Amino acid sequence: MTDIMNSPIVKQVMKQGDLDEIATSVDAASSVQPQLQPVRAAVVQAAKLARDAEAKARDRQHAKGKMTARERLNLLLDTGSFEEIGRFRGGDINGGRAGSAVITGFGTVYGRKVAVYAQDFSVRGGTLGAEEGRKICHLMDMAISLKVPIIAIVDSGGARIQEGVAALTQYGHIFRRTCEASGFVPQISLILGPCAGGAVYCPALTDLIIMTRENSNMFVTGPDVVKAATGETISMTDLGGGVVHATRSGVAHYLGEDEADAIDYARTVLAYLPSSSDAEPPVYAYAATRSERDVAGRIASIVPDNDRQPYDMLDVIRCIVDYGEFVQVHELFASSAVVGFACIDGHPVGVVANQPNVRAGILDVDASEKIARFVRLCDAFNLPVVTLVDTPGYKPGAEQEHAGIIRRGAKVIYAYANAQVPMVTVVLRKAFGGAYIVMGSKAIGADMNFAWPSSQIAVLGATGAVNIIHRKDFVKAKEAGQDVDALRAKLTAEYERTIVNANLSLEMGEIDAMIDPEQTREAIVESLKLLAGKRRVRRTDKHHGNQPL
């Protein structure tokens, strides 16, 4: 790591005496080691400023239970890998100011290069002025040119009021570069302090937002403005804290217990993603053991025979993926759907699944957007999508209709229909109505589709369908004094035998094979090997589609 404090001359000076004393005198600085080249006073002065700035940052941040910007970078990046760009840019060395309120540079995560910037709250509250904006934009330009991920550590009071429109303009420049980088290089935002006003849209444009239970806050208008405008009294935490955004708004994709946990999650996610859309995801060595095969074989015991009995889809996923390791995204939001990263046979994949443990795995507006955005993320960065289906359909009711289930539910269709990465889908139990189509069906673009023998695929479940189809028959039976319940049970059984099971889908070619549950991992592994050579095809000359937003 190149750093002024690691300069050979500065190290030599510090061995011979106190840096404060030496920095006050050119003669003293030059006479420490006469046999070496003269120690330049400017270098010593800059080193003193750098040391004092970090000491000041520690005093201010540690008192709030927060790390300094440099401590965060040290935790995020591989040891000794950080190469800073423009440490003193925006500062005044002779005037005693070390630099601007943001640190920029490059480092490595698991040996792979990344671009990072960390806002320094100890300097002018981490506010963004013209110089800070230029530093960030310069870093982003370099990251796009080098095709490496961009990680932002946010801890800022927002735009620097004293600089007015000059500060606001820089946000516009950052927004534009973030959009340019979107889908080209992974972008992750770590919110480890306040993020308010227009500044919130920088993270909002990135791929993943990570917050913590304490200290993280995001809001367009703060509590004081809210009270002045509406009369509502609310705390910063209740308005835009990490818990709120991870569970209710869906703004945060992960809620860290503390800064270390949040940073570790960022490192973990990067291990599954390529450096850019031009690259393939990393490949890891994997050798299946007997225990791994035994786990894969236990999958059938997890899913109950009763199609109304819930179970935890995470148990199924852990039986399928390498070492049972699954990194969830949006874990606390829209819990009727599950999305996240895993490896299968050493290759990173994105996993999308319904969660029968939560509202039977139904699709609502939030679950739809959660799935759609994750599929788009996987498609942007060349991760195959494995979809595990067990859902009764879209959630009915006026509340969902008024919340925009038509518009927001269509996002899942758009994501799957436009994805060109390998897609493998397995129907475990239920796949009814529109939800069957949108959850990675062959009709919408999936490459390989499988179903378990007990799976049910139809417009409606048997009971609901029979009640609609035979409603007049039930009225007549009741008038004739017949046993309506017995008739309903008979017709339901017949409907299940002829319509609801997966046989019709097999006959139509919508399902490629019926597999035993124990074959699920094997079927996925072999499918992904088959699809490894799949390439993107541009079918039209359009600029881009008009996604339902």
Give mean pLDDT, residues 163-169.
Answer: 92
pLDDT of residue 18: 62
- How many degrees, rounded to 5, is the angle at CA 197 between CA 192 and CA 201? 70
Identify which has the larger pLDDT, 434 or 496. 434
Q: List the domain boundaries for the chain.
A: 39-272, 290-460+501-531, 462-499
pLDDT band at 30 (very low <50, low <70, confident <90, very high): very low
pLDDT of residue 452: 95
- Out of 3.40.50.620, 3.40.50.880, 3.40.50.1000, 3.90.226.10, the CATH code matching 290-460+501-531 is 3.90.226.10
Give mean pLDDT, residues 45-51.
Answer: 73
* CATH topology identical between 39-272 and 290-460+501-531: yes
- Yes or no: say if 161 and 130 are a contact pair by the CB < 8 Å rule: no
Q: What is the pLDDT of residues 341-351, one digit of tens each?
A: 999 999 999 99
Instruction: Write down how long the chain is.
Output: 549
pLDDT of residue 487: 81
pLDDT of residue 36: 47
- How many degrees, rounded to 5, is the angle at CA 329 between CA 295 and CA 263? 105
Looking at mean pLDDT, say which of 86-90, 262-266, 534-538 comes out highest: 262-266
Other Cβ atoms less than 10 A from the Cβ of 248: the count is: 12
b/e sequence 491-529, b meaning 16+ C-beta within 10 Å: bbeebbeebbbbeebbeeebbbebbebebbbebbbebbe
Catalytic residue among 125, 434, 445, 464: 434
Catalytic residue among 152, 360, 435, 451: 435
| First-residue to last-residue Cα distance in the chain | 44
- Yes or no: say if 10 and 43 are a contact pair by the CB < 8 Å rule: yes
Catalytic residue flag (residue 300) = no
Q: What is the pLDDT of residues 201-224, one digit of tens each?
A: 999 999 999 999 999 999 999 898
pLDDT of residue 240: 95
pLDDT of residue 20: 64
pLDDT, the chain, mean: 89
pLDDT band at 13 (very low <50, low <70, confident <90, very high): low
Catalytic residue among 183, 198, 404, 464: 198
Give mean pLDDT, residues 32-49.
Answer: 60
Identify which has the larger pLDDT, 34 or 253. 253
pLDDT of 189 over the 70 cut: yes
Catalytic residue among 107, 129, 133, 197: 197
| Check whether domain 39-272 has CATH 3.40.50.300, yes or no | no
Query: How many percent of the chain have pLDDT more than 70?
Result: 91
* Residue with tokens 């990570």, as numbered in its chain: 210
* Residue with tokens 């309120």, as numbered in its chain: 101
Query: How many percent of the chain have pLDDT more than 90?
Result: 66
pLDDT of residue 50: 72
- Yes or no: say if 362 and 310 are a contact pair by the CB < 8 Å rule: no
Q: What is the pLDDT of residues 220-241, one digit of tens each?
A: 998 988 989 999 999 999 999 9
- Yes or no: say if 354 and 337 are a contact pair by the CB < 8 Å rule: yes
Catalytic residue flag (residue 96) = no
Q: What is the pLDDT of residues 387-416, one digit of tens each?
A: 999 999 999 999 999 999 999 999 999 999
SS3 119: strand
SS3 188: strand
Four-CA torsion 36, 42, 47, 49, nearest 10 degrees = 160
pLDDT of residue 63: 85
Identify which has the larger pLDDT, 470 or 530. 530
pLDDT of 95 over the 80 cut: no
pLDDT of residue 114: 98
Q: What is the pLDDT of residues 247-282, one digit of tens each?
A: 999 999 999 999 999 999 999 999 999 999 999 999
Q: What is the largest CA-CA distance in the chain?
A: 116
Looking at mean pLDDT, say which of 89-93, 109-113, 392-396 comes out highest: 109-113
β-strands 194-196, 208-212 pairing: unpaired
For the four alpha carbons of 503, 504, 509 and 510, in that order, the dihedral sign comes to: negative
Catalytic residue flag (residue 533) = no
How far is 245 from 518, CA to CA, in rounded Å? 38
Helices 41-62, 69-76: crossing angle, 10 deg rounding: 90
Catalytic residue flag (residue 434) = yes
DSSP string, 200-255: GHHHHTSSEEEEESSS-EEESS-HHHHHHHH-----HHHHHBHHHIIIII---SEE
Give mean pLDDT, residues 305-327.
Answer: 94
Q: What is the pLDDT of residues 482-504, one digit of tens each?
A: 887 888 888 877 777 777 777 77
How far is 343 from 267, CA to CA, in rounded Å? 16
